[in-house]
């Protein structure tokens, strides 16, 4: 049984990690935004800049998924149970990720 | 482009024999002494949009002009630039590097150009405005860019027309979960490229082209003559048609693959292979006006390019890592907050 502060500490560490990992997707997000507004739609430069936009969605989805497990853990106090309950969410997320990767 | 030497008399004011330069504001040659403006329009201007046919099966009869002209060579980026009239500069318009006089520049005849329609002041304003509007820019960026000055340059471009009879093979996905399947597909399609604008200089990247030259209008082309270049730098065309087509093959491949994806119109299209029979190649060797502003950020040289036609602006920019971390932190916090609430609420 973890102490009450374990989920909180894990969330802090997770936040720092998600922020660090998220820096590259945020740069990509800005580049995609600028490309949408400034590059000629359908041009070679536009296609190259837009390509890879799904990394932004993958980062947000991964962050959300792990946070849901942490939230469950914080309330139930049962980490392995929270992980078990997250499998269905993970499967749905993987389906969404596959669809996003297809359209990237 | 040897005419830049031969037509220097055109740059002399017929009223006072003063030195003239092209004025984007007045659309003609403006005398620096008496201020008179001389029109450069001719009855043959409409012929400037003419295209030239090219058959890859035949040997190339488009040979470079071997009359070497006095160009300036950049020791930093290797660019060769001509200065017409009073525009002589000791700095390279492409990279701001030092330039030396060279007599080794032999190039191809330029057929047409679009004259500058924006002056330096407006271009400078556009470049600074573009920089100020960058998201997550370093705080000191606008101040650094404000110290830079734009340089006007006629950059060499191609326009290519072609007809492509494409036969393709690809895969796409259907269904989801356990029903997800990959299926093969094949088809044929015809693609017409009309006035595909391609840089003929390594200094102008396709990304900058796509940022500043959205709507190329061939009717704005004017016959090549020294008067339009007066006051600006210009780079000669150094590529044969075959070299130009090869240099731009990557862009064309990407556009064809994108058209194939749209033609298949299914999700998850991948492993695209295609064969194309290209015909009807027509080209123009033209010069297009750009204003380039150089700046250096933390030792890295960067440039902002403004279209001399309509002022569209695009360029290279640095990011503030502190701001990127802040935005990433905010997005992470929001996503984690929603996730924690979702998990704590026992939803799905």
Nearest residue in A to B178, CA atom: A95
d(CA B145, CA B137): 12
* Chain B contact for A96 (CB, 8 A cutoff): no
**DSSP state for residue A40 in the 8-state scheme:** P
In this prediction the ipTM stands at: 0.94
Longest CA span, chain A: 57
* Chain A contact for B268 (CB, 8 A cutoff): yes
Cβ-contact B49, B37 below 8 angstroms: no
Q: What pLDDT, on a 0 to 100 scale, did the predictor assign at position B151?
A: 87
**What's the rounded mean pLDDT across residues A81-90?**
92
Partners of B335 on chain A (C-beta within 8 Å) are: 18, 60, 63-64, 67
Q: What pLDDT, on a 0 to 100 scale, did the predictor assign at position B101?
A: 55
Q: What pLDDT, on a 0 to 100 scale, did the predictor assign at position B8?
A: 60
In degrees and rounded to multiples of 5, residue B213 shows phi and psi of: -115, 80
* Chain B contact for A66 (CB, 8 A cutoff): yes
Inter-chain contact A30–B177, Cβ cutoff 8 Å? Answer: no
Inter-chain contact A71–B344, Cβ cutoff 8 Å? Answer: yes
Q: What pLDDT, on a 0 to 100 scale, did the predictor assign at position B64?
A: 64
Q: What pLDDT, on a 0 to 100 scale, did the predictor assign at position A58?
A: 95
- Give the number of residues written for chain A: 104
**What's the rounded mean pLDDT across residues A7-14?**
94
B32 vs chain A: nearest CA distance in angstroms? 37
Q: What pLDDT, on a 0 to 100 scale, did the predictor assign at position B85?
A: 53
Q: What pLDDT, on a 0 to 100 scale, did the predictor assign at position B4?
A: 46
d(CA B293, CA B3): 28
pLDDT in tens, B109-157: 888 999 999 999 999 999 999 999 999 999 999 999 988 888 888 999 9
Partners of A101 on chain B (C-beta within 8 Å) are: 268
Nearest residue in A to B249, CA atom: A44
pLDDT in tens, A14-61: 999 999 999 999 999 999 999 999 999 989 999 999 999 999 999 999
Q: Enumerate the domain spans of chain A.
A: 6-103
- pLDDT < 50 stretches in chain B: 1-6, 88
> Which three-class secondary structure string do you get for chain B?
CCHHHHCHHHHECCCCCCEEEEECCCCEEEECCCCCEEECCCCCHHHHHCCEEECCCCCCCCCCEEEEEEEEEECCCCCEEEECCCCCCCECCCCCCEEEEEEEEEEECCCEECCCCCCHHHHHHHHHHHHHCCCCCCCCHHHHHHCCCEEEEEEEEEEEEEEEEEEEEEEEEECCHHHCEEEEEEEEEEEEEEEEEEECCCCCCHHHHHHHCCCCCHHHCEECCHHHHCCCEEECECCCHHHHHHHCHHHHHHHHHHHHHHHHCCCCCEEEEEEEEEEEEEEEEEEEEEEEEEEEECCEEEEEEEECCCCCEEECCCCCHHHHHHHHHHHHHHHHHHHHHHHHCCCC
Partners of B136 on chain A (C-beta within 8 Å) are: 26-27, 30
Could you identify the residue written with the tokens 């959300």?
Answer: A64
Inter-chain contact A75–B211, Cβ cutoff 8 Å? Answer: no
B265 vs chain A: nearest CA distance in angstroms? 11
């Amino acid at each position: 049984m973890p102490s009450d502060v374990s989920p909180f500490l894990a969330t802090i560490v997770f936040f720092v990690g998600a922020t660090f990992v998220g820096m590259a997707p945020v740069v990509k997000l800005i580049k995609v935004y600028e490309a949408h507004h400034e590059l000629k739609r359908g041009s070679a430069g536009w296609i190259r800049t837009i390509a890879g936009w799904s990394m932004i969605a993958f980062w947000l989805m991964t962050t959300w998924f792990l946070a849901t497990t942490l939230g469950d853990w914080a309330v139930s106090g049962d980490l392995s149970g929270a992980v078990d309950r997250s499998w269905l969410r993970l499967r749905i997320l993987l389906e969404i990720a596959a669809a996003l990767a297809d359209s990237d | 482009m040897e005419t830049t030497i031969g037509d220097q008399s055109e740059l002399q004011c017929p009223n006072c024999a003063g030195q003239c330069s092209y004025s984007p504001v007045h659309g003609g040659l403006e005398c620096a002494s008496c201020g008179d403006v001389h029109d450069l329009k001719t009855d043959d201007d409409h012929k400037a949009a003419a295209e030239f046919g090219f058959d890859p099966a035949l040997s190339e009869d488009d040979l470079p002009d071997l009359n070497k002209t006095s160009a300036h060579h950049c020791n930093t980026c290797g660019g060769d630039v001509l200065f017409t009239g009073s525009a002589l500069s000791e700095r390279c318009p492409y990279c701001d590097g030092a330039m030396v006089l060279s007599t080794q520049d032999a190039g191809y005849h330029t057929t047409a150009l679009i004259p500058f329609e924006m002056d330096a002041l407006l271009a400078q304003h556009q470049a600074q405005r573009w920089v100020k509007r960058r998201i997550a820019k370093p705080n000191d960026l606008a101040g650094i860019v404000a110290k830079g000055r734009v340089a006007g340059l006629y950059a060499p471009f191609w326009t290519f027309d072609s007809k492509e009879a494409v036969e393709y093979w690809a895969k796409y996905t259907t269904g989801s979960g356990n029903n997800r399947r990959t299926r093969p597909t094949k088809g044929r399609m015809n693609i017409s490229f009309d006035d595909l604008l391609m840089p003929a200089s390594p200094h102008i990247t396709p990304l900058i082209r796509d940022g500043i030259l959205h709507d190329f209008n061939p009717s704005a082309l004017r016959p090549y003559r020294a008067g339009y270049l007066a006051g600006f730098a210009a780079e000669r065309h150094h590529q044969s048609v075959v070299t130009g087509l090869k240099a731009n093959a990557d862009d064309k491949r990407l556009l064809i693959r994108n058209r194939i994806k749209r033609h298949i119109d299914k999700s998850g299209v991948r492993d695209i292979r295609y064969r194309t029979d290209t015909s009807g190649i027509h080209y123009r060797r033209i010069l297009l006006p750009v204003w380039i502003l150089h700046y250096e950020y933390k030792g890295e040289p960067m440039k902002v390019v403004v279209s001399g036609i309509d002022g569209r602006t695009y360029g290279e920019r640095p990011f503030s890592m502190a701001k990127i971390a802040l935005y990433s932190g905010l997005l992470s916090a929001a996503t984690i907050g929603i996730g924690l609430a979702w998990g704590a609420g026992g939803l799905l």
